[in-house]
Amino acid sequence: MDIKKLQTLVVDALEDVKGQDIMLFDTTHLTSLFDRIAVVSGTSNRQTKALAASVRDKVKEAGGDVVGLEGEDTGEWVLVDLGDMIVHIMQPAIRQYYRLEEIWGEKPVKLGAAKRKSTPEAAEAAEPKTKSKHLAANQDQPEAKPVRERKTATKATAAKTVAAKKPAAKKAPVGKVVKVAPSKSEIAAVEATKAKPPKRTPKAAPAAAEPVKKVIKRVAKKVAE
């Protein structure tokens, strides 16, 4: 059987039983034993067994060969050997532990590419569906015209408008002396100096009395004529 047809049958069989996280990998570059590997999760032992049975029955109905089926006793990990393709049906805990995707997952195959157009499911999906005119959602809607929105003012423009509204600060006239009140520390220093007693200056020694100059007047005697 063609590998593309086989992988399509397997994916359809797994989806019929609600298999979770279906992943398909191309292994032709890793081994010559098989060309594809499919990994799928089942939530319980019953579901894993049902998934394996669905794959087996669908492949046999299409004329394919089922080489072997292993793990049905426990249902934790069921392996379906289809010759060119191996299907691993695992419970989530077992799948997370063994991580087969890291071993075989270099070339993943998209599930959309796995489904060929020849399958009835794909042909049904490709057919255009007729729209019911009774539903308002299916009726043709008129083209919406673009609405011009008003641009909101940015922060920069808002700041400019606020600055323009504020009155300008008055500038002190040039040439005038502005009296500044003394600070508290200066006032306290002045009061402290006033409270101190005045310094006593030493008295100067009295000046020595100057000797009184005696003036002796000489009287000239008249000579007798």
Which residue stretches of the chain are H helix?
3-16, 45-61, 92-98, 100-104, 111-114, 120-126, 155-165, 184-195
Assess contact for 35 and 107: CB atoms under 8 A: no
By residue count, the chain amounts to 225
Residues (pLDDT < 70) of the chain are 113-182, 194-225
> What pLDDT digit, counting tens, does each position of 60-89 carry?
999 999 999 999 898 999 999 999 999 999
Q: Provide the b/e sequence for 162-199 (b: ≥16 CB within 10 Å).
A: eeeeeeeeeeeeeeeeeeeeeeeeeeeeeeeeeeeeee
Cβ neighbours of residue 27 under 8 Å, at least 6 residues apart? Answer: 34, 35, 36, 37, 104, 107
Backbone angles phi, psi at 68, to 5 degrees: -165, 165
Report whether 46 contacts 149 (CB < 8 A).
no
Pairing verdict, β 36-41 and 20-26: antiparallel
Q: What is the pLDDT of residue 119?
A: 47
| Beta-sheet pairing, 85-90 with 36-41 | parallel
Residue 71 pLDDT: 92
Is 124 in contact with 117 (CB distance < 8 Å)?
Answer: no
pTM of the predicted model, to two decimals? Answer: 0.52
pLDDT of residue 42: 95
Q: Per-residue pLDDT tens for 115-124?
A: 544 445 445 5
- pLDDT, residue 186, reads 73
Handedness of CA 113, 115, 120, 124 (dihedral sign): negative
